[in-house]
Amino acid sequence: MNWLPLLHRSNDVKFIIFGGGQVAQRKVQTLIKFTSAITVVSPRLDSRLQAFADKGQILHINALAQQDHVYAGSRIVAATDDAQVNQQIAQWAKRLACPISIADDPENSDFIFPAIIDRNPVMIAISSASESPALTRYLRNQLDAALSSRIPQLARFVSALRKTIRTSIDDTQQRQQLWRKLMSSAMPNLVLAGKEDQAKAICDEVIANQDHNGEVFLVGAGPGDPELLTLKAVRLIQQADVVFYDRLVSPAILEYCNSKAEMHYVGKAKADHAVPQDDINQLLADHAKLGKTVLRLKGGDPFIFGRGGEEIELLAEQQVPFQVVPGITAASGCSSYAGIPLTHRDYAQSVRFVTGHLKDGTADLPWQELIHPQQTLVIYMGLTGIRHISQELIAHGMSTDTPIALIEKGTQPEQAVYTSTLAEIGNVIANNKISAPTLTIIGDVVSLHKKLSWLK
């Protein structure tokens, strides 16, 4: 990355702007909010620049650019409409080691101007490294519309609260935890709604009820695409002090965790139980008892083939508070992203989720029930057992040409969908390098994939 965003103290920074047209005017418009030491060098001034000059907000030097306009310790903006003149100014600036920004020439500039959203004291600067001003403007407008105009009030409220908390609580970790609780309470919204008295009451309550008990959040991370996280999942993920996550949780989702959170990988690749299940259950309880906010992050939905039930059973027994957040299960995510509706009036009136996990090389499944007509079967953890499963289904009477789909890494950028028939699926697996996680869908709905597949 070539551009380092830093915030500079602005009141004593001196700017010399060369040029008096629209570009110079836009730069001055930005700078004038931050510094009063602005000199504009140009024989002509845009009417708005002239107005600034008339009001004494900028110093106007009515001349063509000359070397002695540049002086050490200043910052230069070359915004004349002549590229050669701008280059000349850049040479003068370099000689005196003055940082320079050249209009339309980020390559030779030392700094560039971001788009700014100003909610003083909150400042958001957006840049696309000059690659796409249209994108920057678009993002600026989106964010600007989404951010309340009362953020300055919230900033003042939080800043006052910070002083109180600093003087009353010494322990840094305890303070951080309290802040997470405060910021996830109704306080911010109440302040933004202008109800500061109610917000104060909430803060008093949160501060008074600071039990040092931790809590466990059992959260479903969905099948991979971070946009499939629920709003609640994102909120709780951001709050956690300690995170225990599985192999199925995609790295893009882990990015949402607080950068200070303690991260623990607890495995769950097949035959690679990095941490045995009983130990995971106990670890969650132990960390919560230390007063931590613990996140147990699991792929898909924690209550669907996720052993989520076992993990909170122990918490319930040991009276550790917990919350469960559902996630989009692989069946939903993969079927949507593969264009295979799990039910359809013409093809399937029911859907059945089964685990294809093998015990001693065979799957112990209620075969007779699985071959029920007009039913979609979704098989979790089935890749190694899929040949065995399709043979059993055929042996119990399912038609050999029943459509079947394997969805590899569903909803993720590498998603791949293989379709075949029960009779042929063994060959498909043998002839392709298909890797986990893979979900299997069996039934007539699979024939819709060709028509409804939408992911490019």
Catalytic residues: 246, 268
User: Is the Cβ of residue 282 or residue 384 nearer to ligand SAH in the bound state?
Assistant: 384
Q: Which residues pair with 219 in a beta bridge?
A: 297, 325
Q: How far are the Cα atoms of 117, 158, 177, 199, 281 from residue 183, in angstroms, in the given order?
A: 22, 9, 10, 11, 29
Nearest-5° Cα angle at 199, 198 to 201: 65
Q: How far apart are alpha carbons 208 and 191 in whole angstroms?
A: 20
Q: Does 410 bind ligand SAH (CB under 6 A)?
A: yes
Q: Are 234 and 221 in contact (CB under 8 A)?
A: no
Span from 258-266, 273-281, 282-290, 435-443 in contact with ligand SAH (CB under 6 A)? 435-443
User: Is the Cβ of residue 152 or residue 426 nearer to ligand SAH in the bound state?
Assistant: 426
Q: Which of residues 268-307 bind ligand SAH (CB under 6 A)?
A: 298-301, 304-306
Q: How far apart are alpha carbons 443 and 226 in whole angstroms?
A: 29
Q: Which of residues 229-268 bind ligand SAH (CB under 6 A)?
A: 248
Give min distance, CB of 357 to ligand SAH, in A: 8
Q: Does 385 bind ligand SAH (CB under 6 A)?
A: no
Task: Out of 292, 296, 409, 449, name the contact with ligand SAH by CB under 6 A.
Answer: 409
Task: Out of 417, 438, 442, 449, name the contact with ligand SAH by CB under 6 A.
Answer: 438
Place of tokens 């004494």: 56
Q: How far apart are alpha carbons 74 and 263 in whole angstroms?
A: 46
Q: Does 439 bind ligand SAH (CB under 6 A)?
A: yes
Give min distance, CB of 380 to ligand SAH, in A: 4
Provide the H-helix boundaries in 32-82: 47-54
User: Is the Cβ of residue 53 or residue 312 nearer to ligand SAH in the bound state?
Assistant: 312
Q: Could you tell me how many residues of this chain bind ligand SAH (CB under 6 A)?
A: 24
Q: Does 223 bind ligand SAH (CB under 6 A)?
A: yes
Beta-carbon-side half-sphere exposure of residue 139 (alpha carbons within 13 Å): 13
From residue 311 to residue 330, the character string flagging contacts with ligand SAH as x (rule: CB under 6 A) and all else as - is ------------------xx
Q: How far apart are alpha carbons 83 and 103 in whole angstroms?
A: 9
Estimate to the nearest angstrom the gap between the alpha carbon of 234 and the chain centroid. Answer: 8
Q: How far apart are alpha carbons 418 and 432 in whole angstroms?
A: 9
Q: Does 380 bind ligand SAH (CB under 6 A)?
A: yes
Q: Does 437 bind ligand SAH (CB under 6 A)?
A: yes
Q: List contacts with ligand SAH (CB under 6 A).
A: 223-224, 248, 298-301, 304-306, 329-330, 334, 380-381, 407, 409-412, 436-439
